[in-house]
Structure 1
Amino acid sequence: MLEIEINIEMPTDTKGTNPVLNQVVEDCGVSCHTINRDTFAGNITSFKTNDDINTIILNFEVHQDFTLNLTNPRGIKRTFNAIYNFADHCNLQCPIFKSPKNIEANKLHVCIPNTNTSFSMSFKANTRIKGMIISSDFEALIQQNFCDKNSIPKPYVNALNGMYADILQKKDFSIQMKNLVEKSIHNQQTGLEKRMSLEAHCKELTSLAISTLGKVSKTLAKSETNINQNVRFKVNQAATYIEEHYAENHTQEELAKKVGLNLTTLASSFKKIHGVTLNKYKLKIRLEKAKTYLISTEEPVVSEAANLVGFNNVGYFIKKFKVEFQKYPTEVASK
């Protein structure tokens, strides 16, 4: 089961109070968070369908810059993320992207990162935010809707194999998409009627978002199709091995031997599929694991966190942690 955690970072208002979600109403599994502060006013509605599709509906105005963090606390990989942005543009930041991605207005944006990761959406002051964010465990979603693995369409197999791990696909709103998003944002129903209406819209929007898979640029398609399925399978085996043995100090040569590829093929194919080098991938996994330890442990020790994930040099660990998360380990541990 995938759970999306919402965390808002923004300045305090003129009264010195923290603009937190100050009113929450639960109605048949639909949570409506109402915010009314000098800097931020509006609603965030969230719910989960019976097949674990998470939906967040945004409808608010903001008067100062702020960041909306969406985390994946259960560590699920290959999370299907569809962002329907109906108002002003914003920036999407994710560790798999080399730089923030522009989320344009009146467009659908789709991404399926190949690792457990978190997203940050940055909004500028004096903007109107209206839209929907749909997230689900893509592998589970596919398995629930196809009886036989052999019947899964190729674009979905490609997505599961990491072809779109570092790609943010976008598509102009169709009339159908626009109407569904509008109806969801401005839904005035209550109780079970509202729940069923929103769930129906969510599933239809999920279907429309999934249909965009495979519609990538010709350059990307040509680059990816040059990797045969056997090599792709072994590259993903290497990624899985790194994720399961992140604390071990195995060499790239040893890893290549384990999956049955020469180092050159593994390194070049890994970069094409996962968007980063083997070393950077391993570093990201280690740092994510260390962050999880620091957050979940009652009295965490930074040196223990470094040692648990395979760092022999605590100073180097602290330096890389700060670069990755823009915070020192002690800052994370103190929360």
Structure 2
Amino acid sequence: MITIQINAKNTTETIEQIKNVIGGKVVEKWGQLVLAVDNENAKGEIRVLNFDWGACLMEYDITFFDEVTLISDSSNYNPISFIYCLEGYCGHKFGHQEMTDLKIMKQYQSVIISSRANGFNHGYLPANIQLKINVIRVQRNQFMSKRLNKGEVLNKQLYEVFLDTDHKNVFSYYGSYNLKMADLVSSIRNTTTEGMIRILQIEGLVYQILSMHIVQHNNEVLNKGPETSLLKRELNTIRKCAKKIEKNIAKDFSLDEIAAETGLTQAKLQEGFKLLYNKTVTEYIRNARLEVARDLINTTEMNISEVVYSIGFTSRSYFSKIFKEKYGISPSEFKSSKKEVGLTA
């Protein structure tokens, strides 16, 4: 068991105190700190990015080779933590609780935690399991003054957590699993731009993820959570299916074929796609093709006919019709506008 005592005043100090125990090297690039570890204790990265509106992003992308307990003293730094496990799982209990009170944060689950002042948070990280954990930490005073103008956007319970700037109370919420959030968390990890553009893109995604945590909590408090008969593994199968469609955009997918391949009924497929993407299977495929087509027109010299066939359509007129319905401009006009911008530049 590796025990890491943390009494940091911020997340930057937190990552340094973790490094002092498990080793590795911290490097900084464009304001993002990355602890890279490859030794007998762990292999992977822990990344930290701070924002000026009272929040920071902490990402675990790491495998520990022994169980890890993080014991965090909340005397100096006690944010509200919005946690999401993309892969693996982790555990948490407050310092005044027994080990039997340890709660597991499961894969795809939305979790919100806040400790009391001068209390302790005990985090548990398992051994030999690939962990991909997204943690958004919000400092109440700074966030309230810069970003939260109307408290009514939060339900009373969560609003009181934000208002508890003296940190008098503990709070924990273990929500239902949310696969829509998985796509946003994955988008952060798949960001390929560099420099300031990368930081701005990540900040935008952090806003969306934080909003999704809050909206889910509001809905579940009001018993407005999504109603579905699908199991988590079935929704995960549908999510993987959607990713496969995106990677094989020109393939002529049929509902029968997808049902046979996934082992799900057509009714479950339709229910799952509507729940996760607010689209039927056919609508999802069509939308994915249009987005690829837009990118091809914008970034390549392919003509419209070549684009049409490369994404699996056979009718140029049908493609032009639905492209204009989605983007408000025909493919030819879009291509021409791209050229004009290039000439002007």
TM-score range, shorter chain: 0.5 to 0.7
Q: Between Structure 1 and Structure 2, which shows a larger proportion of helix residues?
A: 2
Is the counterpart of residue 8 in structure 1 residue 38 in structure 2? no
Is the counterpart of residue 189 in structure 1 residue 193 in structure 2? yes
1:55 corresponds to: 57
* Cα distance in 1 for residues equivalent to 2:19 and 2:96: 21
Shift of 1:177: 0.9
* Cα distance in 1 for residues equivalent to 2:118 and 2:217: 20
CA 1:148/1:61 → structure 2, altered by over 3 Å: closer, same or farther? Answer: closer
Spell out the pairing of 1:244-323 with structure 2 (5 A cutoff). none
- TM-score (norm: length of structure 2): 0.52
2:341 corresponds to: none
Question: Secondary structure of the residue that 2:22 maps to in structure 1?
Answer: coil
- TM-score (norm: length of structure 1): 0.53
Contact 2:53 2:142 (8 Å CA) reproduced: no
CA 1:108/1:149 → structure 2, altered by over 3 Å: closer, same or farther? Answer: closer
Moved more, 162-171 or 51-60: 162-171
State the superposition RMSD in angstroms: 3.3
Shift of 1:160: 4.3
Contact 2:57 2:134 (8 Å CA) reproduced: yes
* Cα distance in 1 for residues equivalent to 2:211 and 2:73: 23
Shift of 1:136: 1.2
2:22 corresponds to: 19
Is the counterpart of residue 91 in structure 1 residue 91 in structure 2? yes
CA 1:70/1:195 → structure 2, altered by over 3 Å: closer, same or farther? Answer: farther
Contact 1:9 1:67 (8 Å CA) reproduced: no
Amino acid at match of 2:198: K
* Cα distance in 1 for residues equivalent to 2:221 and 2:154: 22
Amino acid at match of 2:35: H
CA 1:28/1:102 → structure 2, altered by over 3 Å: closer, same or farther? Answer: same
CA 1:125/1:156 → structure 2, altered by over 3 Å: closer, same or farther? Answer: closer
Cα deviations by residue, 1:277-332 (Å, 9 ceiling, x for unpaired): xxxxxxxxxxxxxxxxxxxxxxxxxxxxxxxxxxxxxxxxxxxxxxxxxxxxxxxx
Shift of 1:189: 3.4
Q: Structure 2: where are the runs of 5+ without partners? A: 1-8, 223-345
Q: Structure 1: where are the runs of 5+ without partners? A: 11-17, 219-335
Contact 1:146 1:152 (8 Å CA) reproduced: no
* Cα distance in 1 for residues equivalent to 2:96 and 2:220: 17
Question: Secondary structure of the residue that 2:183 maps to in structure 1?
Answer: helix
CA 1:189/1:116 → structure 2, altered by over 3 Å: closer, same or farther? Answer: farther
Instruction: Quote the sequence identity (%).
Output: 13
Q: 1:205 aligns with which of 206, 209, 225?
A: 209
Residue-pair matches, total:
207
CA 1:131/1:114 → structure 2, altered by over 3 Å: closer, same or farther? Answer: same
Shift of 1:97: 4.2
Spell out the pairing of 1:155-166 with structure 2 (5 A cutoff). 155-160=157-162, 165-166=169-170
Q: Which structure has the bigger radius of gyration?
A: 2
Question: Secondary structure of the residue that 1:102 maps to in structure 2?
Answer: strand
